[in-house]
Amino acid sequence: MRKKCRFAGLFLAGFSIFALVGCGNNEEPIIDPIENEFTVTFNTNGGSTVVSQIIEKGEKALEPTAPTKDGYKFGGWYVDKTFKTEFDFDTTITENTTLYANWETYTVAELIEMAADYVDQESTERFYTYVTIKEVSNPQYGEMTVYDETGEILVYGTRGSDGNTYYENLEDKPYAGDEILLYANLVTFNGTPEIKQGWIVEVHHNEAEFDVNDYVEKSISDARKEEKGAKVIVEGVVAQFTYNASQNATGFILIDDSSSIYVYDDQISQQVEKGNTVKIAAIRDNWILTDEVASAEQWGYSGCIQLTDAHLLSNDGKESAWDKAWVKESTVKELMDVNPKDKNITTEIYKVNALVKEKPGKGFTNFYFFDLDGVTGSYTYSQANGKDFEWLREFDGKICTVYLMVLNYKSANSGINARFLPIEVKDDGFVFDQNDGAQFALDYYVKDLLKQDVYYADPNLEVPTSVSNDLINLKDVRITYTSSDETVIKFNVKDNKTYMNVLDFKNKEVIVTAEAKYNGVTAKFEKKIKTQEFNPADYHDVKGAIDTQKESEVKVTGIVGPSLVNRDGFYLIDDTGVLAVLTTKETLSTLNLGDEVFLHGTRTQFGTKENKPENPGQSCLINAVIDGNRFGNNAYSTKTFTSDKTFDELRELDYKTDLTTEVYYIKAKAKIIENKYSSKVQLHNPDNDEEYISLYCSSKNQYSFMLDYVGQELTYAVAPCNWNTKDYYAFCALNVQLEDGTIINNTLNFDNN
């Protein structure tokens, strides 16, 4: 049957009276119907007007053209204001009926599809979308990533509902996990769909569910002592922040009257400021970079002491000074000498006198804190290439009072290295107390030289008899040495230099005394030293160590050869072979090129991965410990070095075959390759400059021994290396032979000995 309806806007001449209703919902006037006729009214809820229809009893309404509404998509007609029941236009009309337009926001997937129409030029039309914040990556500019069940999209230039107030100035800022209604422009920039200038219309904060009663209130000192996973409540003053590469806060240092601790939380960090007194509920945690977990474990480092999964309970919003009364005085050297296996001092503040030093790199800047010797120290932990520490620049070259913490340790198979975070720095015009000069000379110039407990051979160790330090105006501290038994250990003078010599190895024990005098003050240091016979019969030659079953302990002897690059270690060499040895910086400090050593460690293939079973990685010995050192300036053997490879053959070596115990001689010209952030070294074929092999390094400075010979055709000894399990071989240069036959070795890891 044909539908019979009239549109209410075209009323009949017989009607003299009609009722007008409010136009706030964009409804057409309701007209008194004649008998057996009913009006269907369309409430568009702010959308464009849809004309009402007068329908004869038992007939059906016509589905009108969908209305439009700025920023929304039409979601159908409903019989109720709560949009529970959608109207079926196949329904006969038996009474006056009002239908309600439902408006839906756009999904992320729909926004991404529509953004394709706006390449490098943002849309003039805006669209509503209801999304959850995944991450606020730059609060200053409102840069964030949002998502729904259909996908995720970047948002730039986020503002408030007024379209003017930037994210950083919003009173009610949304954070990760919060749901927001955005009114947004679209653009595709550099091939990536984005939301441009998303206005935050609504915010629904989604605080993660937690029961505060599960948390126990503690002082920060007691919270530090808790086991990993403990739920604690702490209160303190925010004293310093850490930042990511975009210089957005990722965490902060919280301090009370007992201690300090690091709170890792990039969302709370955006809600607090320095000096705020805040109370948080959080999980006691220990953090180690994922790639460093295995190496940290072998050195007994349990990770940075911190709090995670934090909930902000209160914030006074005021600026208060943090309590310094509990802070212990120390030195940079003492902080670096702490073994984290024995005591984890991470994220606890110490007061030190330190030389602040800026060291610009290629594309980054490191800021160091050195002890008063000007040598012992480490760098600040930065994820922003040092830009987050530019405030230290005014202290460059000055000895300052520094409230300093070991934030974490960089862990590697060769050892661990403290990384600092300065909390506060003051230039107090430091002047060294000259009465401390004698003790200082012993602490910084003698004790480390005499740290070895047992000697198996004569070290012929040169010891200082005069110490000066221009940094602290120290001039000629006089040092003398005595031995309790000169038939065992004796200090001899030769060519105006003093040497410690061991004369007897029949299990003797001797007290060695160093006495320093300066400015009328005398200081003494005593060291108990044992001498002991050594039996090398249980030690393999290098070939025996290479052939040892993988992941097993092995004892091996050989000559300390050239330094490894990018690793703390050296090549151990004898007549039978060459093997890379990884050890600690501390152990390296006791060694020199040419020492005859007896050591033990784990024979392994470094870098092997389950997903690359065909790649053998790097043959080496890890966790090497020196059992005995016969010292001596011994020349290492080159018996197993070969010259049987051409340049092309070196370039085509099969990485699936382990060749990392081989050394090849090759004629080549060294070339430096520079770019914005780094430099590297290549060896080029003298007959074809386009052919080259890459040297394994992170900087050209790791091959400083060969930089004076760049561009010259010389003979290099190179070893294939595959520390990073690449699908090709890079090479480590062990030495370069000059035209007159002089051998220049890579002594990178021994240069400070």
The predicted-structure confidence for 380-414, as pLDDT tens digits, reads as follows 999 888 999 999 999 999 999 999 999 999 987 66
- CA 597 to CA 629: how far, in whole Å? 4
Rounded average pLDDT over 227-248: 93
The predicted-structure confidence for 305-328, as pLDDT tens digits, reads as follows: 999 989 999 999 999 999 999 999
Are the C-beta atoms of residues 658 and 730 closer than 8 Å to each other?
Answer: no
Could you name the CATH architecture of 328-426? Beta Barrel (2.40)
Rounded average pLDDT over 90-103: 94
Cα 90 to chain centroid distance, Å, stands at 63
Could you name the CATH architecture of 434-531? Sandwich (2.60)
**What are the C-alpha distances in Å from 378 to residues 108, 193, 266, 346, 411?**
46, 43, 26, 14, 14
pLDDT at 4: 40
Q: With H, G, I as helix, E, B as strand and everything else as coil, classify residue 387.
A: helix
CATH number, domain 108-204: 2.40.50.140
- CA 354 to CA 332: how far, in whole Å? 7
- CA 543 to CA 576: how far, in whole Å? 5
Question: How many CB atoms lie under 10 A from the CB of residue 727?
Answer: 10
pLDDT at 24: 42
| CATH 2.60.40.4270 intervals, the chain | 1-103
Question: How many CB atoms lie under 10 A from the CB of residue 549?
Answer: 8
Q: Which of 296-310, 321-335, 689-703 has the highest mean pLDDT?
A: 321-335
Q: Where is average pLDDT lowest: 73-77, 415-419, 588-592, 675-679?
A: 675-679
Q: Closest Cα partner for 488 from 468, 508, 471?
A: 508
Fold of 540-753: OB fold (Dihydrolipoamide Acetyltransferase, E2P) (2.40.50)
DSSP bridge partners of 516: 479, 523
| Residues above pLDDT 90, as percent of the chain | 74
Helix residue ranges, H only, 306-436: 332-337
The predicted-structure confidence for 487-533, as pLDDT tens digits, reads as follows: 999 999 999 999 999 999 888 999 999 999 999 999 999 999 999 88
Are the C-beta atoms of residues 355 and 404 closer than 8 Å to each other?
Answer: no
pLDDT at 172: 82
pTM for this structure?
0.70
Are the C-beta atoms of residues 369 and 375 closer than 8 Å to each other?
Answer: no
105 HSE (CA, 13 A, CB side): 15
Q: Which of 544-548, 621-625, 700-704 has the highest mean pLDDT?
A: 544-548
Position 177 confidence tier, pLDDT thresholds 50, 70, 90: confident
pLDDT at 169: 81
| CATH 2.40.50.140 intervals, the chain | 108-204
The predicted-structure confidence for 343-364, as pLDDT tens digits, reads as follows: 999 999 999 999 999 998 878 8
Residue 666 has pLDDT above 90, yes or no: yes
| CATH 2.40.50.200 intervals, the chain | 212-315, 540-753
Q: Closest Cα partner for 652 from 684, 686, 617, 693?
A: 693
Pairing of strands 454-455, 521-531: parallel
pLDDT at 10: 34
Cα 584 to chain centroid distance, Å, stands at 22
**Token pair listed for 222:** 């007691």
Q: Higher confidence at residue 17 or residue 325?
A: 325
Q: With H, G, I as helix, E, B as strand and everything else as coil, classify residue 433.
A: coil
Position 231 confidence tier, pLDDT thresholds 50, 70, 90: very high
Question: How many CB atoms lie under 10 A from the CB of residue 483?
Answer: 18
- CA 263 to CA 276: how far, in whole Å? 14
Q: Where is average pLDDT lowest: 218-222, 599-603, 724-728?
A: 724-728
Are the C-beta atoms of residues 195 and 185 closer than 8 Å to each other?
Answer: yes
Q: Closest Cα partner for 245 from 137, 347, 141?
A: 137
Fold of 212-315: OB fold (Dihydrolipoamide Acetyltransferase, E2P) (2.40.50)
Instruction: Indicate the helix (H) or strand (E) that contains 648.
Output: helix 647-651
Q: Higher confidence at residue 56 or residue 170?
A: 56
Between 3.40.50.300, 3.30.420.40, 2.60.40.4270, 1.10.3720.10, what CATH number should domain 1-103 receive? 2.60.40.4270
Q: With H, G, I as helix, E, B as strand and everything else as coil, classify residue 682.
A: strand
Rounded average pLDDT over 709-731: 93
Residue whose token pair is 């730059």:
138
Fill in the DSSP letter of residue 32: P
Residue 31 has pLDDT above 70, yes or no: no
pLDDT at 414: 66
Are the C-beta atoms of residues 504 and 464 closer than 8 Å to each other?
Answer: no
